[in-house]
Chain A
Amino acid sequence: MNELLEQIAVCVERGKVNAKSPFPPDLRGQEGVDELTRTALAAGVPAQDLLEQGLIKGMQAIGARFRRDEVFVPDVLMAAKAMKTGMAHIRPYFQSGEVKRKGVFIVGTVAGDMHDIGKNLVAMVAEGGGFEVVDLGIDVSTERFLEALGQKPGAVVGLSALLTTTMTSMAETVQAVKLKYPGTRVMVGGAPVTEHFARQIGADAYSADPQGAVEYLNTVVA
């Protein structure tokens, strides 16, 4: 059983989605996360173990390698794609309550900003880190963030911006969130965003990379 979970973790890390996937070339024709997850569930592997020892473990491994500059954005996105395939199979267990996620993370690119790759990376790595992710997309208004928080009380909020002009939207959203839901933790990130700016606008955390975002989320739920 452990071997199967180990195999799933490796397939996530290598971005092996399914048997049909041509990537990575050296695993061509072999089963990927899709088939292996189904096999594991059919064999009675608890979905919680599948999540933690398979999918999360694989994402942690790729995240750590990304931080060490051993792999790059395409590799992380491919791993996330593989992870999502497995996640789809255990979704029913989340709904039944058999599998618990660590917490909820609401993420979006702030109003006026159409950039999504950084936000997508963080969202995928957070999901692969065991969090339920509510991805609000790009150009997200403050109202939309508040509405999502209303539906998911206690969630951590992540705001992304790539433009200096939309960093003002970021400040407005942080302020509105803190006013309406005072205990909410807000994390910010994006190319022009700095730790200093995060403090200035009252955000609780700043992360320069997706792995840092997950580390912060883990501290919040610990």
Chain B
Amino acid sequence: MKMNMQAWKQGVLASRTRYALPVLTSLGFDLTGATVRAGATDGRVQAAAIQALARRYAFAASPMMMDLSVEAEAFGARIRLSDHEVPVVVGTALQDTSEVAALAVPSLEAGRIPAYLEAARITAEAVTGRPVFAGCIGPFSLAGRLFGMTEIMTEMLMDPDGILALLEKCTGFLEAYAAAFAQAGVNGIIMAEPAAGLLSPAQCDEFSSAFVRRVVRKVQCDEFAVVLHNCGNTGGQNRSMLSTGAWGLHFGNKNDLPRTLAELPGEVLVMGNIDPAGSLRMGTPAEVKAETARLLEATAPCANFILSSGCDIPPGTPAENVDAFQEALDAFNAGR
């Protein structure tokens, strides 16, 4: 469903109600009786799971799967699918930077890309009254999967031009992928760039944000918003993330959100950051409720805050814990 995302954002900023946008899809597979593997390979299964979640929870938006293997697979990296875990990359596509020139930028027909675009099309039509955000990886995190995460960390120092050339190819692909999501009818993307969290602020500027900014400039418009997620940023990269121009910035649970909110301009949506593993996946409902209530209180004065998880909420998360997250939000809003 087409929406004016600029108006949606302004609505969030103007509202007294606190909204939530947890990065949650895996619970949808439990609700529909599907496996994660099926959701990661069949667009209809993923779309059904997102619709099931939309029926159960009145969250501010519906995110699609945060599967950080789909783009790398399209480039030729080996992946491993599992019934109970989000797919992971198990083999790189490149051994060294001399291979970058010959690396082909894949078409949008490669690997499971069509399944994700199909999921976007179906979900965009079926979920109404709230925006749908597709998931996509960030340029540096994609390059890290293609080159090897440990290897790229040293190669970016030894041969920065080689890694920048790889980032060019990654960014070209991501621009096309994000544009295809817009064409499929979803209202934005949540771009996950966790690997950038391992870099210095200056390295983050050069090897991540400069490329994210290009994708943002290419696709962000009144009808399509970009949310940049970096769960590794403990605070030092806030300015770098801001420089991308994304309308929303999404932070992990290691980030001091009240401090970040004080640092960033009030017109940028700031999202986060309930611990997805320690709290939502492994905590009790009472613990989730308490942590959520604490965060809501600590961020209460900030109109640009949207409650979220610190990262993708992992498979196996009990519905009771997500219910507790919602209940804490409802209680907070009732008291405002």
| Chain A residues proximal to chain B, CB less than 8 Å | 15, 21-24, 69, 71-75, 77-78, 81, 112, 114-117, 120, 163-167, 191-192, 194, 196-197
B179-198 vs A: 1/0 string, CB under 8 Å? 00000000000000000001
**Which of B4-12, B13-21, B275-283 lies at the interface with chain A?**
B275-283
A22 touches B315 (CB 8 A): no
CA distance A74 to B203 in the complex (A): 9
One of B88, B159, B277 near A191 (C-beta < 8 A)? B277
Q: Are B198 and A116 closer than 8 Å at their CB atoms?
A: no
B126 at the interface (CB under 8 A from A): no
In contact, B153 and A73 (Cβ under 8 angstroms): yes
Give chain B residues whose Cβ lies under 8 Å from the Cβ of A164.
Answer: 277, 281-282, 314, 316
Q: Does B200 contact A (CB under 8 A)?
A: yes
In the assembled complex, the Cα of A77 lies from the Cα of B153 at a distance in Å of: 7
Binary contact track B81-95/A, C-beta < 8 Å → 1, others 0 = 010110011100000
Query: Is there a chain A Cβ closer than 8 Å to B158's Cβ?
Result: yes
A22 touches B158 (CB 8 A): yes
Residues from chain A with a CB closer than 8 A to the CB of B82 are 112
- Tell me which residues across on chain B come within 8 A of A163, comparing CB atoms: 85, 314
Cβ contact of B199, chosen from A15, A74, A115, A191, cutoff 8 A: A74
Chain B, interface SS category:
mixed
**Quick one: given A72-B198, A192-B277, are A165 and B150 in contact (CB under 8 Å)?**
no
Q: Which of B90, B153, B234 has the most CB of A within 10 A?
A: B153
**CB pair B200 A77 closer than 8 Å:** no
A24 nearest CB neighbor, chain B only: B157
Asked whether, in the complex, the Cβ of A74 is within 8 Å of the Cβ of B277, the reply is no
- Complex CA gap A211/B203 in Å reads 22
Taking a contact as CB atoms under 8 Å apart, the answer to whether A74 and B198 are in contact is: yes
In whole angstroms, what is the CA distance A194 to B253 when docked?
13
Partner of B150, one of A22, A75, A77: A77
Q: Is the CB of B278 within 8 A of A192?
A: yes
Cβ contact within 8 Å between B282 and A165: no
Q: Which of A74, A163, A167, A197 has the most CB of B within 10 A?
A: A74
Contact with A along B310-322 (1 / 0, CB 8 A): 0000111000000
Give the shortest distance, in Å, between A197 (CB) and chain B (any CB). Answer: 7
Are A73 and B199 also in contact (CB < 8 A) when A164-B282, A165-B315, A197-B282 are? yes
Residues in chain A near residue B98, CB distance under 8 A: none
| B153 contacts A117, C-beta separation under 8 Å | yes
Question: Are the CB atoms of B80 and A165 closer together than 8 Å?
Answer: no
Which residues of chain A have C-beta atoms less than 8 A from B80's C-beta? 114
Q: How near does chain B come to A16, taking the closest CB pair, in angstroms?
A: 11
A-contact bits for B133-165, CB 8 A (1 contact / 0 none): 000000000000000011001101111000000
A164–B203 Cα gap in the complex (Å)?
A: 29
CB contact between B84 and one of A23, A69, A81, A165 (< 8 Å): that residue: A165
CA A22 – CA B236 in complex, angstroms? Answer: 27
Choose one: B85, B150, B282; the contact of A116 (CB below 8 Å).
B150
Residues of chain B contacted by A167 (CB below 8 angstroms):
282
Minimum CB distance partner of B282 in chain A:
A164
Query: Would B200 and A114 count as touching, CB distance under 8 A?
Result: no
In the complex, which residues of chain B have a beta carbon less than 8 angstroms from the beta carbon of A78?
153-154, 157
- Write the nearest CB–CB distance from A135 to chain B, whole angstroms: 12
